[in-house]
């Protein structure tokens, strides 16, 4: 693990430190979730910035690792695009959480609607830039890397991009719950609905193909055909969870304990 961390720093020091900052923020938000009583959708308001900060940490380190392989790639432009745009998202989500207010789906006032639109644009630009990185992995030769590993990166990025844009399914509906209201019973921390359809599950599974598939291929599968097959099955899993969500069906139906702290600001 120490060797891996040192390699990430060597490959891309900028995204390495940015990822560390996001990791630190995610830990702070998780701690605050136990110390504060402000809620959003009947759970701690700090859960959402925790999830976004931790996800950005994983994304930053993964892309720091992969982009190192690309020849003649303007890595500094990519780095600062990620830092500025995803940093804006985390800061706005954190500020709104501290106020007990919605960040996503908040169109109650023109200013909030504008910032929500800016978040969508920021996420889209980073996703499109990542799609470009994926295209470079298809068009360049990586003869010094195992073929199965290259295919895992290609397919991991491809699935990531598809399910990043799947976020517009929720954005168009201004809700992350299908078949019922937001804020119902859900699993701990992630708060995926245990009663209704929840497209966030597919969003999560698809986006983390970016890390899961290359790790599986490099350390376990070590075979191109197996990598492609597992990638297809992984993508189908994400598609299945999305279809179930759109039908209003819960994937996790167990009644997990709910946080019943007082809602200081009702959204």
pLDDT at 49: 98
Burial of residue 205 (number of CB atoms within 10 Å: 0-12, 13-18, 19+): buried
Q: List, for residues 74-101, the tens digit of each pLDDT value.
A: 999 999 999 999 999 999 999 999 999 9
Contact 48, 30 (CB under 8 A): no
Q: Say which residues have a Cβ less than 8 Å from residue 171's Cβ, sequence separation at least 6.
A: 104, 105, 120
pLDDT at 1: 87
HSE value, Cβ hemisphere, 13 Å, CA-based, for 174: 8
pLDDT at 262: 36
CA distance 85 to 125: 8
Contact 133, 63 (CB under 8 A): yes
- Give every residue of the chain whose pLDDT is below 50, as ranges: 259-267
Q: List, for residues 214-255, the tens digit of each pLDDT value.
A: 999 999 999 999 999 999 999 999 999 999 999 999 999 865
pLDDT at 254: 67
Nearest Cα to 97, choosing from 50, 31, 27, 58? 50
CA distance 37 to 209: 34
pLDDT at 253: 81
């Amino acid at each position: 693990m120490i060797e891996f961390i040192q390699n990430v720093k060597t490959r891309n020091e900028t995204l390495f430190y940015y990822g560390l900052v996001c990791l630190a923020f995610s830990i702070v938000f998780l701690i605050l979730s136990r110390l504060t009583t402000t809620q959003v959708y009947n759970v701690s308001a700090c859960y959402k910035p925790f999830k976004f900060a931790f996800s950005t940490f994983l994304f930053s380190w993964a892309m720091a690792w992969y982009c190192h392989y690309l020849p003649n790639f303007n890595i500094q432009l990519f780095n600062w695009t990620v830092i500025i745009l995803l940093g804006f998202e985390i800061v706005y989500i954190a500020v709104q959480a501290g106020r007990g207010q919605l960040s996503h789906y908040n169109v109650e006032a023109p200013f909030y609607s504008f910032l929500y639109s800016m978040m969508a644009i920021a996420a889209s630009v980073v996703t499109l830039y990542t799609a470009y990185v994926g295209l470079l992995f298809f068009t360049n030769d990586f003869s010094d890397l195992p073929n199965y590993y290259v295919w895992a990166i290609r397919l991991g990025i491809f699935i990531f991009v598809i399910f990043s844009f799947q976020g517009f399914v929720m954005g168009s509906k201004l809700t992350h719950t299908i078949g019922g209201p937001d804020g119902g019973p859900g699993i701990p921390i992630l708060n995926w609905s245990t009663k209704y359809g929840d497209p966030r599950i597919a969003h999560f599974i698809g986006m983390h193909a970016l890390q899961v598939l290359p790790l599986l291929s490099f350390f376990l599968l070590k075979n191109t055909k197996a990598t492609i097959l597992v990638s297809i099955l992984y993508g189908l899993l994400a598609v299945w969870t999305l279809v179930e969500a759109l039908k209003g069906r819960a994937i996790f139906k167990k009644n997990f304990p709910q946080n019943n702290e007082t809602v200081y600001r009702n959204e």
